[in-house]
Structure 1
Amino acid sequence: MNAGSYLERLLRLDVLLALLGVYLAQLVAYKAYKIFIYPYFASPLRQLPGPKNHHFLIGHILNQMRSGHPNEPYLSWMRQWPKTPAGLIRYFDVGNSDAVLVTSLAAHKEILHDKCYSFQKPAFFKRLIADMVGFGLVFTEGEEHKKQRRLLAGLFSPGNLRAMVPMFRDKARHLSNLLDQIIETEDGVVDLVSLYSKIMLDIMGVFALGVELGNLQPANDAANNSFDHCYHELFEPDTWGQILMGVNTILPVRWIPLEANRRFKQALHTVRSQLMAIIQDRIRTVGEWKAAGIDVDAKKGRDLLTFMVAEKYYADSDRWSPEYIMEQILTFLAGGHETTAGGLTWATQLMIDHPDETKRLRAEVDELLRREPLPDQRSIENLPYLHNFTREVLRVQAPGVNVAREAAEDVVVQGVVLPKGTTVLIQPAMVNRNPTIWGADCDEFRPDRWDRLEGEAADPWAFATFALGPRVCIGKAMTMLEFKIILVELVSKFDFEGVVPDARVGSIKYINPSPLLRPEGGLRVRVKRRAE
């Protein structure tokens, strides 16, 4: 190699290093600007009120984890700034990035209804729950979301709900039988979280798959590899699992070889592999029906899986793969199982805490059962105090914690520009327990309040448990119906009392962080057969 060629190569290397240095310097300068200058001097959100006690790298993650409650510190912020001009509280997310907490009905309506599809699910929310709830309907956006809702809405029609009443009633009776066994063998002491999760998993197994999920267990495996055990493992992590769940919203950490990660991945593998076996079997069954000339339309309404296989797997176009069908099944299992089980847990605890309200509920239920031992859907829906009781449970202790969104473009909300990428945090508690909407007693359990709603509390948007707008929970009517049928069974046959006398809702420890409002370590109570 001659000297000129060597010098030319060195010059090229110097140029490349110089360019790399300029790029890195620009990158560092840009990041420094975004973290230390833009949030305080250039962001259009800088005039909004909000907390400042965050860490510039991880935002309020530590504050949230230390709070002991998945609705905190957000609920405290709402109480500190109860009526901001735009109904928005600004806080800082990871890397001092902009985020807003939505607190007013007007802002909720604009985000969830008027400009619904200008927002999308943020990346951190996907990392938090997608493994457990699947990339189904909850994560679709825009026209695809509209199309999927139209397809699936028929399964939740009034006629289909009426057809499900006998199944709901059978599961409620099965719950009674389990409670009787517990009274006989365990002195009546039961963990409500585990019990209600099992029953709701059974219900959703029949609705979503046409099978009893609680019975799924490989013949040569131990009980801790059963479907229900593994499914609960995903939603009830230990302390390390909770920490990893929180950290995973910032950085992907599921690959780290820790025991909590190993258990999570093993449970997820078991759940998904068993679901895939059911899906493949149903695909074969529906294919055999078609080959035999059997009227598939007469059979596909039996359960969600059969419906989706018939409508989408065997569709002429826009077909769904078995893997995508599984994502949808996971979405409906989580949406219809864990949330309703959580609601029943809090309903029972609130019955213990409020014996006078329980007596009123029981009197109304007793009167119905004297007239109609097997009440139909209309009779149950026409019980006014049961309706009030149910809504008040779900208002005070909304099972779902977050509806996280992210601005997909620059969006104006209540006169405030939310730049593209802004995290928008919507929590049912910000509306359900807002004193400017529900009054100074918003934290109190008072079913009678529903008979005298005034002001903003009378607005349908004031009950935010199921969200509203185009993305309102598709199974809301089904959830309310099964919830009421099970409550009728419970209050008509059993009394509940706390195992620890002062174990009231206000003193319960919660799993945190968590996408659901769940008591840490379950919730143990004592159940007794009702004294006649």
Structure 2
Amino acid sequence: MDAASFLERLLRLDVQHVLAAVLGVYLAQLVAYKAYRVFFYPYFVSPLRRLPGPKNHHFLIGHVLNQIRSGHPNEPYLSWMRQWPKTPHGLIRYLDVGNSDAVLATSLAAHKEILHDKCYSFQKPAFFKRLIADMVGFGLVFTEGEEHKRQRRLLAGLFSPGNLRALVELFRDKARHLSNLLEQIIDTEDGAVDVVSLYSKIMLDIMGVFALGVELGNLQPANNTADTSFDECYHELFDPDSWGQILMGLNAVFPVRWLPFEANRRFKQARDTVRDQLMAIIQDRIRTVGEWKAAGMDSNAYRGKDLLTFMVAEKYYADSDRWTEGYIMEQILTFLAAGHETTAGALTWGTQLMIEHPDEAKRLRAEVDELLRREPVPAQRSIESLPYLHNFTREVLRLQAPGVNVAREAIEDVVVQGVVLPKGTTVLIQPAVVQRNPTIWGPDCDEFRPDRWDRLEGEAADPWAFATFALGPRVCIGKAMTMLEFKIILIELVSRFDFEGLVAGAKLSNIKLINPSPLLRPEGGLRVRVKRRRA
């Protein structure tokens, strides 16, 4: 071997050794860094380490197992708030997956700073997307920053007072349809009915007209075959069996939807069915609006028809910043899922609370009866003027807020109530943590007392104490619509029917809930007996 060959071979070996050494150093640094972040940083370096909070987490999955074992979507967070009801900074620190930092906001001041003053210093965290995006789509709820502001401005007009007035007759028509179906159930099923399923159907029918301009027909009699299986699909998505609930919780931590379990197969089939049917409706609407435009139709003639038509006209056919049909579907998914399930949940808990509190139900019926004597078909203004109905509605939503979590993640180092939240910190806001906080609402905060709204004092009188719809720039865009349709349907129900429980002793405190879940929903539904009101 000549000298040149020997030198070339020596250099080649040196390069291999260098690469191996570099790789070894990189892996050693990575392992050391991960060990530092998991076992050292949370306890000795984190600026949040001195905040009060629980210590019984698991270093790998945080409090996920504790949450699943709790049996309640609001736990263990409500228990933490009760243990530390008035912390100096309005924050409770806990450790999440991989011992990562997380805080639970408990004070109104902390809520205001996170959701209003520094709203766009936070974004939806990855775990929250894995938990609900398959069900509610990547629409408005997941947009951030300037894009979120643009979309809010675009869609806000659909929820204006004028548009809501135009929807009153839709709400009333669906409420009457619901009453007719309940009459049939009284005659054929002795009045026994699962109100979770029934209310989901009526709200899905309303959202079908509002969001799609389509009659979904979910409130048809049992022997009628509807054109869609949206209701069955949403039942599968939001009411999984016990194994499905566990998979839902695990998927928020580690992607597990690909695993070959029957619960995963049913979930994906329901999700894909909803998306396939929506895509067919969207593509048909795109063709229709295109034909209208080609014929020179005045845009004002179709912009106000429904949410889908508005989106297609304004964004699919826009000159710039166009939305694809796929993105329009993500937006529609958000409004369909969030718009029907939250109000259905409010009606479910409102019915249960009327059963548990017959005196309050009697007062509500008396007020409704008096209105209907004066005005058999009450106008929106008359409905909104009923003080006890308004109190009843807010108290239902305070005590049993249908949406469980508002999860955010700091996208930069941000100071909240004098505490530095490092970039990447998870911030959890739960309506229940504010609305069932005894330092805000008093020692009777867990009791159903609609009259409390007539004499709010202290922090309870602060608008931020009512957190069901969140607040700030990301407040629920459909808040006013939800309140109105809830009231109209409730007026129809209490004016014609009485409700009683089918399960002896069933109360809010002992009704088993779907857990984990993004919504507060009874597991297996809520069966009650409905009866015609006596004259």
Same topology, TM > 0.5: yes
Q: State the Cα distance separating 1:215 from its structure 2 match.
A: 5.8
Give the letter for the 1:164 counterpart. Answer: L
Partner of 1:353: 356
Judge conservation of contact 2:177–2:219 (CA < 8 Å) in 1.
Answer: no
Partner of 1:472: 475
Partner of 1:427: 430
Identity %: 85
Unmatched tracts of structure 1, length 5 or more:
none
Judge conservation of contact 1:188–1:527 (CA < 8 Å) in 2.
Answer: yes
1:13 is the counterpart of 2:39: no
Give the letter for the 1:408 counterpart. Answer: I
What pairs up with 1:517-532 in 2 under 5 angstroms?
517-532=520-535
Aligned to 1:484, which of 482, 487, 495? 487
Q: State the Cα distance separating 1:293 from its structure 2 match.
A: 1.4
Q: Deviation digits for residues 445-503 of structure 1, max 9, x if unmatched?
A: 00000000000000000000000000000000000000000000010001111101201
Aligned to 2:239, which of 236, 240, 257? 236
Q: Deviation digits for residues 289-325 of structure 1, max 9, x if unmatched?
A: 1111111222221110011111111111111110000
DSSP 3-state at the match of 1:405: strand
DSSP 3-state at the match of 1:213: coil
Partner of 2:93: 90
DSSP 3-state at the match of 1:324: helix
Partner of 2:377: 374
Partner of 1:211: 214
CA distance in 1, matches of 2:217, 2:411: 40
Partner of 1:329: 332
CA distance in 1, matches of 2:234, 2:345: 15
Q: Pick which of 378-387 and 293-302 moved more.
A: 293-302
Judge conservation of contact 1:216–1:226 (CA < 8 Å) in 2.
Answer: no
TM-score by length of 1: 0.97
Give the letter for the 2:478 counterpart. Answer: G
CA distance in 2, matches of 1:201, 1:430: 29
Q: State the Cα distance separating 1:10 from its structure 2 match.
A: 3.2
CA distance in 2, matches of 1:119, 1:8: 51
DSSP 3-state at the match of 1:425: strand
Aligned to 1:226, which of 226, 229, 233? 229
Q: Pick which of 17-26 and 465-474 moved more.
A: 17-26
What pairs up with 1:365-444 in 2 under 5 angstroms?
365-444=368-447
CA distance in 1, matches of 2:219, 2:108: 44
1:133 is the counterpart of 2:136: yes
DSSP 3-state at the match of 2:420: strand
CA distance in 2, matches of 1:236, 1:188: 23
CA distance in 1, matches of 2:282, 2:189: 38
Judge conservation of contact 1:410–1:420 (CA < 8 Å) in 2.
Answer: yes
Judge conservation of contact 1:92–1:98 (CA < 8 Å) in 2.
Answer: yes
Partner of 1:339: 342
Aligned to 1:260, which of 259, 263, 276? 263
TM-score by length of 2: 0.97
Unmatched tracts of structure 2, length 5 or more:
none
Q: State the Cα distance separating 1:224 from its structure 2 match.
A: 12
Aligned to 1:76, which of 79, 86, 92? 79
1:463 is the counterpart of 2:476: no
CA distance in 1, matches of 2:10, 2:261: 52
Give the letter for the 2:393 counterpart. Answer: T
Give the letter for the 1:226 counterpart. Answer: S
DSSP 3-state at the match of 1:404: strand
What pairs up with 1:264-283 in 2 under 5 angstroms?
264-283=267-286
Give the letter for the 1:388 counterpart. Answer: N
- Aligned CA distance change for structure 1 residues 225 and 374 (closer, same or farther; 3 Å): closer
Judge conservation of contact 1:202–1:214 (CA < 8 Å) in 2.
Answer: yes
Partner of 1:493: 496
Partner of 2:117: 114
CA distance in 2, matches of 1:49, 1:406: 20
Give the letter for the 1:74 counterpart. Answer: Y
CA distance in 1, matches of 2:414, 2:78: 25
Judge conservation of contact 2:120–2:144 (CA < 8 Å) in 1.
Answer: yes
Give the letter for the 2:240 counterpart. Answer: P
Judge conservation of contact 1:201–1:214 (CA < 8 Å) in 2.
Answer: no
CA distance in 2, matches of 1:357, 1:158: 30
CA distance in 2, matches of 1:215, 1:275: 16
CA distance in 1, matches of 2:259, 2:14: 43
CA distance in 1, matches of 2:397, 2:70: 22
1:30 is the counterpart of 2:33: yes
Q: Deviation digits for residues 60-86 of structure 1, max 9, x if unmatched?
A: 000000000000000000000000010
Partner of 1:105: 108
CA distance in 1, matches of 2:481, 2:342: 12
Q: Deviation digits for residues 21-48 of structure 1, max 9, x if unmatched?
A: 1111100110011011110111000110
CA distance in 2, matches of 1:86, 1:213: 48
DSSP 3-state at the match of 2:86: coil
CA distance in 1, matches of 2:102, 2:371: 49
Give the letter for the 1:112 counterpart. Answer: L
Give the letter for the 2:111 counterpart. Answer: H
Give the letter for the 1:484 counterpart. Answer: K
CA distance in 1, matches of 2:92, 2:403: 21
CA distance in 2, matches of 1:501, 1:484: 28
1:298 is the counterpart of 2:283: no
CA distance in 1, matches of 2:101, 2:278: 39
Aligned to 2:56, which of 33, 53, 57? 53
Q: State the Cα distance separating 1:9 from its structure 2 match.
A: 3.2
DSSP 3-state at the match of 1:198: helix
Give the letter for the 1:163 counterpart. Answer: A
CA distance in 2, matches of 1:143, 1:335: 22
Q: Deviation digits for residues 328-348 of structure 1, max 9, x if unmatched?
A: 001111221000000000000
Judge conservation of contact 1:216–1:227 (CA < 8 Å) in 2.
Answer: no
Give the letter for the 1:519 counterpart. Answer: P
Judge conservation of contact 2:178–2:219 (CA < 8 Å) in 1.
Answer: no
